[in-house]
Amino acid sequence: MDLYDQSYEDVYRYVLFKVGNKWDADDLVSEIFRKAFERFNRLQHANAKAWLMTIARNTVIDHYRKKKDLAVGEDLDGFSYPVLFEEALEKQDDLQCLKKSLKSLDKEELEIVNLHYFSEMKYKEIGSIIGKSESAVKMKASRMIKKIGLFVKHCLEGASYE
């Protein structure tokens, strides 16, 4: 299946970012592709990747709903583990400031970061997943990048925003 070969890495990175451990990520990715395979003949969308990422998003939400220790609700989109940033940063201070800045994002902004930077989705695809226009997603991403940049700069200068 070409969709599997083309999308596996993106789906895996997205799920790993959301659940924070490879064991749950492996199980969930298998479930996502099983669901996609079962529904593939009914695929009416022009964008198969957006369709697949919607299945991934919903599967992760269902995963958290099944966990007894988490409250069920829309806030589930905010649960994520930005551990993958650690590989790209050399200094601990930078890492701490970046983590703090990510905590300043609302759940929709965090979802955009995840889908765009970890799953390499286009803004149009992200818009179809979160129910916003491509231009609205681009605008939100632009503002979010500026917000993170300012926050990290102030954090590194010693300002406290907690």
pLDDT digits (tens, 9 = 90+) for 86-122: 444 445 667 778 778 888 888 888 889 888 887 888 8
Query: Average pLDDT for residues 137-151, to the nearest whole number?
Result: 88
For 132, the token pair is: 């916003």
Q: Could you tell me which residues come within 8 angstroms of residue 120 by beta carbon, excluding any fewer than 6 positions away?
A: 10
Query: Average pLDDT for residues 33-37, to the nearest whole number?
Result: 89
Q: Could you tell me which residues come within 8 angstroms of residue 148 by beta carbon, excluding any fewer than 6 positions away?
A: 98, 101, 102, 104, 105
Q: Are 101 and 39 in contact (CB under 8 A)?
A: no
Q: Are 119 and 25 in contact (CB under 8 A)?
A: no
Q: Are 155 and 161 in contact (CB under 8 A)?
A: yes
Distance (Å, whole) CA 146 – CA 59: 31
Among residues 79, 57, 64, 78, the alpha carbon closest in space to that of 126 is found at 57
Is it the case that residue 69 has pLDDT exceeding 60? no
Q: Output 140 or 149, whichever has higher pLDDT.
A: 140
Q: Are 100 and 147 in contact (CB under 8 A)?
A: no
Please give the model's pTM, rounded to 2 decimal places: 0.56
